């Protein structure tokens, strides 16, 4: 089959892109839109590093066919970099040295943002649950949990 | 200076000056390279590829041991989108991808020795097409008899994996008179311990891309040691090394395998592909390729025979370590050295007899991984201690107190411990933090279905390379006209924060804030070959080079300042970016003004710092001597809760103390302790790359279990002890590796405390606990 | 035999926007694999384990098939309801449905829960799908729709083997339904794996039942593996328990029946022996939960 023309809405920008039937949302976000914050850690839906928001909910862009992303609103970290809450989260990630190798950082920040934007002042247990599908091999999670926790507290 | 009066400002400067060059040492400063990371900027290898890049996928061996009769790539070549299929025939130089012993071809050519052997690489316009075309590469094999058990492989009649027999390396320690030691003992305790394949699983897999540039080639990749990759690629291409430029991209985790042979593979394949096709080629291992084809932590079979007096004094320790090396030597020939030298644990034992073997098998190969042989050795040694305590009916803490290394003790290799031996302080700290004695007493009276236990583990860890090679480093500092300081080195950052630590050290010596620093990307064309970034040695070795470079720079600047502010050279102070004359603090100039003046005076602000550690001396035959310049010490206590009906258990609390000499950045040190501990927790509780008849059963993150955020203890209490070492800058010792070592023995011993039985193999699954309870 | 398709860029994707259109397309293309939100199938297509020539993407039917409702005494769940949606459903917050909460909490990861559908979970038909035992314990039926009409099949009869389902090539699973057992019933689910989350179970078990005045009036038990490699009911154990007082003695007896009823296998995750031990321990805990205890 020929390529498919898919209209995507990513970070508020609507664009039609040609995709192969076997392209993943991850591929389109990285290669067509250039949003490189979206990482591939496993390609099989087992590590959480490719997390983006689809219609406001965290999903794994490596297990979503590109053609299924039409009619959905996709948000990557690049689309949130100017958001005040995200800036606060990023500031706390730096303060806590929660970004070691940094490869899981965009996914962790997006999940933190999603949690805190729904629930300001989320507890550490809630944070642990929210990031439980996203693997980090460097930090042992503690500094990430603390960073999100502190970003959710009043200043 | 708005909020301060001039007087307050001066007082502050003075105070800082009194603290001298320690201004930024021991401070929880931020990393200087993490802004791009938190913004998700395109900084990793995969993010940087040009648009017309081709993609490579690996064809791995179908058999663990076989003769290759024929390879036919024509079908794959004709597949839509495929541009080239690389095999051994395409290697113009040496078909070799090895670190120390030249036993591993880049592409298998006459035989395959493991299912991780690379037979071909398909290069296509899209990764999906390359993936599909792999199925079309036709390889004819003639299976050979394989051997998977390293003990079997050591036998003379075992199938030969290479020409020279299966024992790659034998390391010995012979101290005192072992037989006499056993004769003096009241008890002799013998046990065997086993460990598993652990996969480092950095979140970014092994990745490199190559761009052809006429006579030259540029390689950008994820790696620990770019200069080694440069040499490896040049060898494969048959080119002089200066035609190969290697840049380390920001690296998404490493943990050891990225200092071993896998980065050579991805870089060489990308380079060959780029040369054959004339286009940039990306070789980024899929998770599955990575988990099969990269190096893992060696499984070990370790037997301990220990003599002990009734009063708890150890008299003799005989240890045999057999490492399953898989099909190739890799850096494993050094792993066995560290394992054998640390095999008896952090104890003073008069009579020692250790034999360490790294053995070839037809399993996938094993090599460098955080801890480098210590996790296996210390798991066995510390488990054995609790078995001894049980036999003596003694508290494991008391047994340790009697025998542990302290200043004045000698290690298994006879090395004298100086005042920097902080092991007693580490043990004391965790015993107090955990309230060990009280809990031990409390838990001894349980009889319910749910039982708790508490366990101890300790370690000493020889710093930096020691017997593993020449321990040197270069760090380059140059100051721009605007006062910004570039720090450049062939040492690499892959997540530990150590390179920020180098800047912290240089900043302290120079007297300028860390914000003035930028770190240049390691590039083989620009930076000196500086040895491998391994063995947690960036701060301990590289830190001395950074200090040297900063001192040299300061020597250039002080005379300029002296003239500029009309002050004797010895009275010039540079503190926190301000320059003034001692006693005339009211008249300061800025660092920028000083630098500008230096430029105007034609002073070149460009220095190369160098440090070479004192050479370590030990006897090859007996192992006796001082294989390491200094040691890190650590102690941990784990508390577990076990459901005796199912064997399910959890780690409730974990207390850990490390003597790190001097914590250059305590926040970064704790980050390493947290991360290493959780990686060690995975090693203890769940991680196992299962091999069945040479095939990896679970080469994916679905069934290779890395701890998630819901698998970690509520908190890890970390305690930093600082007994300054003789080698590292400001007394710093290494820290990144040891934390991974302690969880396995501490948890094992805690479970033994809870259920009365020890589990001597890793990982300690709930099933093993269940079976121990039922046995 | 026809060669399977190797080149996945040649897959034909059919993207209907209504159920009616879907059924028509599927009738014309009975060789198409159906994908909903694809979290299970997509990786298996990508790695070549499944090599479809055509895909029928029914994710566009979310508007039609994403309902949870009570119709007469039947709880009806549209096939495209995601796990996260189920979490928010007020009907399922009643005590008798608390097994749903238990499954959801242990299901995949938060990100997977946002896309995985209940229909997909059932159609994946393997012992690693955690909803299946719970739905078996609720005696669920699946509704299969096609251009020829609709038919209902007991879930027990629908899953016929590992990754094998009783679906005709032109049918789409559109709904899962079960009778509301009514007041007095409760349900619970437990799962054990090699880590706490993001994990394929070693064993899981679901129980639905009614305990009144200390007596087990009704009980249905299902686990990911009983005799074979697919989730099944433990009917002998159920029969043994019915009508008995819920006490230590009954449980000891039930454990004995269950241990005779199961026939498990080893794999690298756990041995058969250990799986059995866990199932027995779970049975006890879950039965006590029916009574409202931990």
* B21-48 confidence digits (pLDDT tens): 578 999 999 999 999 999 999 999 999 9
Q: Chain B: nearest CA to C145, how far in angstroms?
A: 33
Nearest CA in chain B to A37: B40
Mean pLDDT of chain B: 96
> Is the model more confident about B22 or about B755?
B755
What angle is formed at CA B41 by the lines to CA B37 and CA B42, rounded to 5 degrees?
115
CA distance A113 to A105: 12
CATH number of A4-76: 3.10.20.30
Going by the DSSP 8-state scheme, the letter that residue B449 receives in this structure is S
Instruction: Summarize the confidence of residues B487-507 as an average pLDDT.
Output: 97
Q: How high is the pLDDT of residue A1?
A: 53
Q: Chain A: nearest CA to B254, how far in angstroms?
A: 9
Give CA separation, B138 vs B135, B269, B732, in Å.
8, 19, 55
Sequence length of chain C is 294
* Domain C68-179, architecture per CATH: 2-Layer Sandwich (3.30)
CA distance C278 to C271: 11
Instruction: For residue A26, count other CB atoms closer than 10 A to its CB.
Output: 22
Interface probe, candidates A53, A61, A68, chain C, greatest C C-beta count within 10 A = A68
B426 close to B458: Cβ distance less than 8 angstroms = yes
Q: Which residues pair with C190 in a beta bridge?
A: C205
CB contact under 8 A, C42 and A24: yes
Collapsing DSSP to helix, strand or coil, B30 comes out as coil
Q: How high is the pLDDT of residue C294?
A: 45
Q: How high is the pLDDT of residue B773?
A: 97
Compare CB distances from B678 to A97, A127, A140 and report the shortest one's residue: A140
- If you count residue pairs, one on A and one on C, with CB atoms under 8 Å apart, how many are there? 89
pLDDT in tens, C100-124: 999 999 999 999 999 999 999 999 9
Q: Which stretches in chain A have pLDDT values below 50?
A: none
B327-356: buried (b, 16+ CB within 10 Å) or exposed (e) per residue?
A: bbbbbbbbbbbbbbbbbbbbbbbbbbbbbb
Residue C38 above 50 pLDDT?
yes
C24 close to C145: Cβ distance less than 8 angstroms = no
Cβ-Cβ contacts under 8 Å, A61 against chain C = none
Cα B443 → chain centroid: 36
Q: What ranges make up the beta strands (E) of chain A? A: 4-10, 13-19, 51-54, 57-60, 73-75
The verdict on whether omega for the bond into residue B763 sits within 30 degrees of 0, i.e. cis, is yes
The fraction of chain B above a pLDDT of 70, given in percent, is: 97
B512 close to B576: Cβ distance less than 8 angstroms = yes
Cβ-Cβ contacts under 8 Å, C270 against chain B = 765, 767
- The token pair at B323 is 């490492």
Q: How high is the pLDDT of residue C40?
A: 85
Query: B6-30+472-612 with B300-466+619-774: one CATH topology?
Result: yes
Asked if B496 reaches chain A (Cβ–Cβ under 8 Å), the answer is yes
Q: Chain B: nearest CA to A135, how far in angstroms?
A: 6
Give CA separation, C232 vs B759, C133, C135, C154, C218, in Å.
34, 7, 10, 12, 18
Place of tokens 């009975």: C30
Q: Which residues pair with B196 in a beta bridge?
A: none
Task: Assign domain C9-59 one CATH number from 3.30.43.10, 3.20.20.70, 3.30.70.2190, 2.40.50.180.
Answer: 3.30.43.10
Residue B2 above 50 pLDDT?
no
Place of tokens 């049975």: C283
CATH topology of domain C185-290: Enolase-like; domain 1 (3.30.390)
Instruction: Summarize the confidence of residues B285-304 as an average pLDDT.
Output: 98
Q: How high is the pLDDT of residue B511?
A: 93
Q: Which residues pair with C191 in a beta bridge?
A: C204
CA distance A96 to A148: 10
CA distance B527 to B608: 10
B389-403: buried (b, 16+ CB within 10 Å) or exposed (e) per residue?
A: bbebebbbbebbebb
Asked if B708 reaches chain A (Cβ–Cβ under 8 Å), the answer is yes
Nearest CA in chain A to C200: A46
B568-594: buried (b, 16+ CB within 10 Å) or exposed (e) per residue?
A: eeeebbbbebbbbbeeebeebeebbbb
Q: Chain C: nearest CA to B530, how far in angstroms?
A: 41
Instruction: For residue A14, count other CB atoms closer than 10 A to its CB.
Output: 9
A75 close to B734: Cβ distance less than 8 angstroms = no
Cα B71 → chain centroid: 37
Instruction: Summarize the confidence of residues B394-416 as an average pLDDT.
Output: 98
Radius of gyration of chain A measured on its C-alpha atoms: 16
Residue B193 above 80 pLDDT?
yes
CATH topology of domain B45-144+206-284: Aldehyde Oxidoreductase; domain 3 (3.90.1170)
Q: Using CB atoms, list chains with 3+ pairs below 8 Å to chain B.
A: A, C
CA distance B488 to B518: 9
Residue B8 above 80 pLDDT?
no
Q: How high is the pLDDT of residue B22?
A: 74
Q: How many helices (H) and strands (E) does chain A have?
A: 5, 5
Which pTM was predicted? 0.97
Q: How high is the pLDDT of residue B202?
A: 98
Asked if A85 reaches chain C (Cβ–Cβ under 8 Å), the answer is no
Q: How high is the pLDDT of residue A2?
A: 75
Q: What ranges make up the beta strands (E) of B410-554? A: 450-462, 472-479, 485-488, 517-519
Q: Which residues contact C251 (CB under 8 A, 6 or more apart)?
A: C283, C284, C287
Task: Assign domain B300-466+619-774 one CATH number from 3.20.80.10, 3.30.365.10, 3.40.50.2300, 3.30.300.180.
Answer: 3.30.365.10
Nearest CA in chain C to B690: C268
Q: How high is the pLDDT of residue C293?
A: 58
Q: How high is the pLDDT of residue C3?
A: 73
Instruction: For residue B15, count other CB atoms closer than 10 A to its CB.
Output: 10
pLDDT in tens, B602-615: 999 999 999 999 99
- The token pair at B386 is 């609790």
Residue B10 above 60 pLDDT?
no
- HSE-up (13 A, CA, CB side) for residue B445: 4
Compare CB distances from B708 to C196, C274, C278 and report the shortest one's residue: C196
Asked if A63 reaches chain C (Cβ–Cβ under 8 Å), the answer is yes
Nearest CA in chain A to B711: A132
A19 close to A7: Cβ distance less than 8 angstroms = no
Compare CB distances from A41 to B203, B675, B702 and report the shortest one's residue: B203
Give CA separation, B552 vs A111, B88, B289, B483, B566, in Å.
47, 49, 47, 16, 21
The fraction of chain A above a pLDDT of 90, given in percent, is: 96
CATH number of B6-30+472-612: 3.30.365.10
Compare CB distances from A63 to C12, C38, C84 and report the shortest one's residue: C38
Which homologous superfamily is A81-151 in? [2Fe-2S]-binding domain (1.10.150.120)
Asked if A55 reaches chain B (Cβ–Cβ under 8 Å), the answer is no
Burial class (CB in 10 A: 0-12, 13-18, 19+), C266: exposed
Query: A4-76 with A81-151: one CATH topology?
Result: no
CB contact under 8 A, C42 and A132: no
Burial class (CB in 10 A: 0-12, 13-18, 19+), A2: exposed
Collapsing DSSP to helix, strand or coil, B265 comes out as helix
Give CA separation, B435 vs A106, B430, B438, B650, in Å.
40, 8, 6, 19
CA distance B752 to B757: 5
pLDDT in tens, C167-180: 999 999 999 999 99
Cβ-Cβ contacts under 8 Å, B288 against chain C = 47
Cβ-Cβ contacts under 8 Å, C47 against chain B = 288
Asked if A133 reaches chain B (Cβ–Cβ under 8 Å), the answer is yes
The fraction of chain C above a pLDDT of 90, given in percent, is: 89
- The token pair at A68 is 């299924």
CB contact under 8 A, B765 and C199: no
Q: Can you give the residue ranges of every domain in chain B?
A: 6-30+472-612, 45-144+206-284, 300-466+619-774
Residue numbers of C between 274 and 293 with CB closer than 8 Å to B: 274, 277-278, 281
Place of tokens 């690296």: B251
* Range(s) within chain C of domains with CATH label 3.30.465.10: 68-179
Dihedral sign for Cα atoms in the order B427, B431, B436, B438? positive
Q: How high is the pLDDT of residue C229?
A: 84
Burial class (CB in 10 A: 0-12, 13-18, 19+), B656: buried
B131 close to B273: Cβ distance less than 8 angstroms = no
Residue B1 — very low, low, confident or very high, per pLDDT cuts 50/70/90?
very low
- The token pair at B142 is 């003639």
Asked if B645 reaches chain C (Cβ–Cβ under 8 Å), the answer is yes
CA distance A30 to B127: 14
- The token pair at B496 is 């530990």
Q: How high is the pLDDT of residue B330?
A: 98
Q: How high is the pLDDT of residue B551?
A: 93
* Range(s) within chain C of domains with CATH label 3.30.43.10: 9-59
Place of tokens 């380079």: B271
Instruction: Summarize the confidence of residues B493-516 as an average pLDDT.
Output: 96
CA distance B105 to B86: 13
Going by the DSSP 8-state scheme, the letter that residue C66 receives in this structure is -
Q: What ranges make up the beta strands (E) of B683-722? A: 691-692, 695-696, 716-721
What are the φ/ψ torsions at residue B73 (nearest 5 degrees)? -110, 0
Q: Can you give the residue ranges of every domain in chain A?
A: 4-76, 81-151
């Amino acid at each position: 089959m020929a390529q498919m023309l898919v209209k995507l809405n990513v970070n508020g920008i609507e664009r039609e892109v040609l995709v192969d039937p076997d392209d993943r949302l991850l591929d389109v976000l990285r290669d067509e839109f250039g949003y490189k914050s979206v990482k591939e850690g496993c390609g099989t839906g087992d590590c959480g590093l490719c997390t983006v928001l689809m219609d406001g909910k965290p999903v794994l862009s490596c297990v979503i066919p590109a053609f299924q992303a039409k009619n959905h609103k996709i948000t990557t970290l690049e689309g949130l970099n100017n958001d005040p809450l995200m800036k606060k989260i990023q500031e706390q990630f730096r303060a806590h040295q929660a970004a070691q190798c940094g490869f899981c950082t965009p996914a962790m920040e997006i999940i933190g943002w999603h949690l805190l934007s729904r629930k300001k002042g989320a507890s550490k247990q809630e944070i642990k649950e929210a990031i439980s599908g996203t693997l980090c091999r460097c930090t042992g999670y503690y500094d990430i949990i603390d960073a999100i926790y502190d970003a959710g507290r009043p200043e | 200076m708005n909020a301060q009066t001039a007087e307050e400002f001066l007082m502050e400067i003075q105070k800082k000056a009194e603290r001298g060059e320690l201004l930024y040492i021991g401070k929880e400063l931020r990393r200087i390279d993490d802004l791009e990371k938190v913004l998700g900027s395109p900084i990793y290898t995969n993010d940087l590829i040009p648009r017309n890049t081709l993609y490579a996928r690996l064809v791995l061996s179908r058999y663990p041991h076989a003769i290759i009769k024929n390879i036919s790539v024509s079908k794959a070549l004709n597949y839509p989108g495929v541009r080239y299929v690389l095999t051994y025939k395409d290697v113009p130089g040496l078909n070799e991808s090895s670190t120390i012993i030249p036993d591993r071809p880049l592409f298998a050519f006459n035989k395959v020795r493991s299912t991780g052997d690379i037979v071909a690489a398909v290069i296509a316009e899209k990764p999906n097409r390359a993936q599909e075309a792999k199925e079309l590469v036709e390889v004819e094999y003639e299976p050979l008899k394989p051997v998977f058990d390293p003990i079997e492989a050591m036998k003379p009649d075992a199938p030969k994996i290479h020409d020279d027999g299966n024992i790659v390396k034998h390391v010995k320690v012979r101290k005192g008179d072992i037989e006499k030691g056993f004769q003096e003992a009241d008890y002799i305790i013998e046990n065997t311990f086993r460990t598993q394949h652990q996969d480092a699983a950095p979140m970014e897999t092994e990745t490199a891309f190559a761009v052809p540039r006429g006579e030259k080639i540029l390689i950008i990749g994820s790696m620990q040691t770019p200069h080694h990759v440069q040499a490896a690629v040049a060898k494969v291409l048959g080119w002089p090394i200066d035609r190969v430029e290697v840049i380390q991209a920001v690296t998404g985790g490493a943990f050891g395998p990225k200092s071993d042979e896998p980065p050579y593979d991805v870089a060489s394949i990308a380079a060959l592909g780029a040369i054959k096709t004339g286009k940039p080629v990306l070789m980024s291992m899929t998770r599955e390729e990575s988990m099969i084809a990269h190096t893992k932590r060696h499984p070990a079979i370790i037997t301990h025979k220990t003599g002990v007096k009734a009063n708890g004094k150890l008299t003799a320790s005989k240890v045999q370590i057999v490492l399953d090396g898989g099909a190739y030597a890799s850096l494993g020939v050094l792993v066995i050295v560290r394992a054998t030298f640390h095999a008896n644990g952090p104890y003073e034992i008069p009579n020692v007899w250790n034999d360490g073997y790294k053995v070839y098998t037809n399993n996938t190969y094993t090599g460098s991984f955080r801890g480098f042989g210590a996790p296996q050795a210390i798991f066995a040694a510390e488990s054995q201690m609790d078995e001894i305590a049980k036999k003596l009916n003694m508290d494991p803490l008391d047994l340790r107190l009697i025998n542990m290394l302290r200043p004045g003790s000698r290690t298994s290799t006879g090395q004298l411990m100086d005042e920097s031996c902080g092991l007693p302080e580490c043990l004391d700290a965790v015993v107090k933090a955990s309230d060990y004695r009280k809990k031990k007493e409390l838990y001894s009276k349980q009889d319910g279905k749910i039982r708790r236990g508490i366990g101890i583990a300790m370690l000493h860890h020889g710093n930096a390379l020691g017997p593993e090679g020449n321990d040197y480093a270069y760090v380059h500092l140059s100051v721009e006209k605007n006062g910004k300081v570039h720090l450049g080195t062939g040492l690499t950052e892959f997540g530990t924060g150590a390179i920020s630590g180098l800047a912290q050290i240089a900043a302290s010596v120079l007297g300028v804030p860390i914000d003035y620093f930028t770190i240049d990307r390691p590039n083989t064309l620009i930076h000196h070959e500086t040895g491998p970034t391994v063995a947690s040695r960036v701060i301990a070795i590289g830190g001395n080079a950074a200090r040297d470079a900063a001192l040299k720079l300061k020597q250039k600047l002080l005379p300029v300042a002296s003239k500029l502010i009309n002050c004797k050279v010895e009275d010039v102070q540079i503190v926190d970016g301000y320059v003034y004359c001692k006693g005339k603090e009211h008249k300061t100039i800025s660092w920028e003004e000083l630098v500008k003046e230096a430029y105007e005076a034609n002073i070149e602000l460009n220095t190369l710092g160098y440090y070479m550690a004192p050479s370590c001396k030990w006897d090859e035959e007996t192992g006796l001597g001082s294989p390491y310049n200094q040691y890190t010490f650590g102690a941990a206590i784990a508390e577990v809760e076990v459901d005796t009906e199912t064997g399910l258990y959890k780690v409730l609390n974990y207390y850990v103390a490390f003597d790190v000499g001097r914590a250059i950045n305590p926040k970064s040190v704790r980050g390493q302790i947290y991360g290493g501990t959780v990686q060690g927790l995975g090693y203890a509780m769940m991680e196992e790359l299962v091999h069945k008849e040479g095939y990896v059963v679970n080469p994916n993150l679905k069934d290779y279990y890395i701890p998630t955020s819901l698998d970690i203890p509520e908190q890890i209490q970390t305690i930093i002890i600082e007994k300054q070492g003789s080698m590292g800058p400001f007394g710093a010792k290494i820290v990144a590796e040891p934390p991974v070592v302690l969880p396995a023995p501490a948890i094992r011993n805690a479970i033994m405390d809870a259920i009365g039985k020890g589990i001597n193999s890793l990982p300690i699954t709930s099933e093993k606990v269940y079976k121990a309870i039922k046995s | 035999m026809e060669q399977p398709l190797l080149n996945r860029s040649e897959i034909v994707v059919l993207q209907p926007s209504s159920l009616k259109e879907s059924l028509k397309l599927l009738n014309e293309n009975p060789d198409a694999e159906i994908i909903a939100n694809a979290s299970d199938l997509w990786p298996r297509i990508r790695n070549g384990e499944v090599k479809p020539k055509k895909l029928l993407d029914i994710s566009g039917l979310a508007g039609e098939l994403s309902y949870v409702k009570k119709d007469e005494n039947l709880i009806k769940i549209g096939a495209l309801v995601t796990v996260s949606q189920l979490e928010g459903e007020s009907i399922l917050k009643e005590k008798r449905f608390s097994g749903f909460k238990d499954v959801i909490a242990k299901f995949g990861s938060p990100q997977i829960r946002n896309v995985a559908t209940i229909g997909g979970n059932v159609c994946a038909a393997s012992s690693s799908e955690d909803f299946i035992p719970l739905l078996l314990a609720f005696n669920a039926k699946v509704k299969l729709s096609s251009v020829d009409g609709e038919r209902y099949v007991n879930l027990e009869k629908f899953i016929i083997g590992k990754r094998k389902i009783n679906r005709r090539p032109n049918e789409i699973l559109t709904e899962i339904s079960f009778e509301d057992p009514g007041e007095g019933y409760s349900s619970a689910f437990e799962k054990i794996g090699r880590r706490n989350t993001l994990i394929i179970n070693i064993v899981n078990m679901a129980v639905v039942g009614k305990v009144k005045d200390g007596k087990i009036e009704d009980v249905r038990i299902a686990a990911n593996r009983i005799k074979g490699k697919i989730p099944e009911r433990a009917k002998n154990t159920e029969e043994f328990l019915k009508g008995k007082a819920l006490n230590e003695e009954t449980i000891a007896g039930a454990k004995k029946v269950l241990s005779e009823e199961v026939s498990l296998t080893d794999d690298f995750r756990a041995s058969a022996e250990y799986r059995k031990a866990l199932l027995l321990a779970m049975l006890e805990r879950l039965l006590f939960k029916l009574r409202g205890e931990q």
